Amino acid sequence: MAVNLHIPAESDIHPVAGVELGVAEAGIRKANRRDLTVMRLAAGSAVAGVFTRNRFCAAPVQVCQAHLAAGPDIGALVINTGIANAGTGQAGVHAARRTCEEAARLLGLRPEQVLPFSTGVILEPLPVDRIAAALPRAVADLSPANWMAAAHAIMTTDTLPKLHSRRVQLGDATVAVTGISKGAGMIRPNMATMLSFLATDAGIAPALLARMAREIADMSFNRITVDGDTSTNDSFVLVATGAAGVSVQSESDPHYGALRAALAEAAKDLAQKIVRDAEGATKFITVRVEEAGSTEEALKVAYAVAHSPLVKTAFYASDPNLGRILAAVGYAGIDDLDVSRVRLWLDDVLVASEGGRHPGYREEDGQRVMKQPEITVRIALARGQAADTVYTCDFSHDYVSINADYRS
């Protein structure tokens, strides 16, 4: 059950000028479900991507990276769910390339202008003939208003579609920022088993867009974790069509700050929705580390806590067994950490200080917080001024069941 996940009404989803989406049922792994999405982009759109750092990266990731490196004129994205086309060797690369060829033929593009994306089961061949047969139906379905349908079509074990949409005023122009994401398990930074596609009809210089994509990914999709596993297929794609008539060419542009903030807010929301809909999740947990000597230190501690199965199962049980958090802080990898100066809060409840249980801490206060659907763990290291935040969830029986039955 998703934790406080807001789905915007279709009337609140703003089309992005220069972006059309179409979906179809290809029967890639299961019959009678929408599992193929085409996104057509207006000529002149700028596209940037951030991809998994898993060395066993999937064939579509390899092809995407090659196509983005070949030139800036990307005209379409093709996304399938059901089969990840990962661990498929050279045959998988050929399948991803054929997907691009078939889409290009239908859309009047060159194959290298198409970016392919896949998500689903690893180590199984992609049924590219089924994709080729369904692509004409997805192209026929192209519409600026199909964001909700596309959000559904990219889901795997997600229980709800994940969308973000808003309008931003840049001088006299109003621009749209709309995006979708998917992911529920195998979620860990750099990045996760996630796909996200975020678009604006503002124009952004290609080099600037690429830098923004990396920075925004680090603020959002690289700050979430569900289970500590890094996927083979992670992709975050940022699109700027320029169709709204306003363009940002450099960081000194007066509209840069507002546009970057809107895109970062959208990515953070889409990333958090992945955690809120994580497999079996019943709690949404924010881990905030303060007074660290560096950002690296803060993230070491935050991820040690967020990845700990003992911490996560305690949250699921609403059991204030909070010594597990201190243990995770202790093994995070800061060799000269002075534990006598570390403080730990659960929301507003000071749990630990001076190397042990805070004298004013009461078990019933910890229990009260642990029963909430949203919890903030705050840790102060007393080593400096750096701080960072990671978002995670609890581990439930359902997480085990979902992943045990994943291929059923």
C-alpha dist (Å) from residue 83 to 29, 34, 111, 222, 319: 7, 13, 21, 24, 38
Q: What is the DSSP string of 89-117?
A: HHHHHHHHHHHHHHHHHHHT--GGGEEEE
Residue 117 and residue 79 in contact, taking contact as beta carbons nearer than 8 Å: yes
Backbone dihedral angles phi then psi of residue 336, each to the nearest 5 degrees: -105, 25
For the chain, the first-to-last Cα distance in angstroms comes to 20
Backbone dihedral angles phi then psi of residue 82, each to the nearest 5 degrees: 110, -50
DSSP 355: T
The two counts, helices (H) then strands (E), for the chain are: 11, 17
Residue 139 and residue 38 in contact, taking contact as beta carbons nearer than 8 Å: yes
Residue 103 and residue 38 in contact, taking contact as beta carbons nearer than 8 Å: yes
Q: What is the DSSP string of 118-133?
A: EEEETTS---HHHHHH
Q: Tell me, yes or no, if 193 is annotated catalytic.
A: yes
Name the residue among 233, 239, 245, 235 with its Cα closest to residue 210: 239
Strand ranges (E), 229-347? 235-240, 247-248, 284-292, 343-346
Name the residue among 287, 308, 297, 380 with its Cα closest to residue 335: 297
Catalytic residue among 156, 193, 232, 286: 193
Residue 51 and residue 68 in contact, taking contact as beta carbons nearer than 8 Å: no
The whole-angstrom separation of Cα 372 and Cα 376 is 10
User: Which distant-in-sequence residues (6+ apart) come within 8 Å of 233 by Cβ?
Assistant: 52, 57, 58, 60, 61, 84, 86, 117, 118, 119, 193, 195
Known catalytic residues are: 193
